[in-house]
Amino acid sequence: MPKQKLDLLAGTLDLIVLKLLRAGPAHGWDLTQSIQAISRGILDVNYGSLYPALRRLEAQGWIKGRWGMSENNRRARFYDLTAAGAKQLATERRSWERFQGALTLILESN
């Protein structure tokens, strides 16, 4: 049975991007490839969702963008997690874990 791709819940893309950038700087293509690889192909983020999220996170001061050269010598915008972004990641993760716990309670109830 083929894996069904899942749409991301509102707000989860921010959490995912912050988590991935904790490991180090990345550009948009890297982020989409990492999301696909880590989720074993279940999550597929399109650029129409990713780039607005990156701009939003940058406007909030949670990530910082800079221009550089990619592995294939193309100009790309690399993003780094800021100190404020690391704090937000912790906050978002706690919220996600609370949501996940509540959803588990509901699904396991009679």
Topology of domain 12-108 in CATH is Arc Repressor Mutant, subunit A (1.10.10)
| Segments making up each domain of the chain, as ranges | 12-108
Torsion of CA 58, 33, 13, 55, to 10 degrees: 20
pLDDT digits (tens, 9 = 90+) for 37-50: 999 999 989 889 99
Helix axes 12-22, 28-38, angle to 10 degrees: 100
Q: Which two tokens stand for residue 61?
A: 């001061």
Confidence (pLDDT) at 44: 86
Q: Which residues pair with 6 in a beta bridge?
A: 43
Residue 58 near residue 79, CB atoms below 8 Å: yes
Three-state DSSP at 36 gives helix
Three-state DSSP at 43 gives strand
Confidence of residue 1 (pLDDT cuts 50, 70, 90): very low
Report d(CA 47, CA 27) in Å as an integer.
Answer: 12
Confidence (pLDDT) at 110: 84
pLDDT digits (tens, 9 = 90+) for 61-108: 999 999 999 888 999 999 999 999 999 999 999 999 999 999 999 999
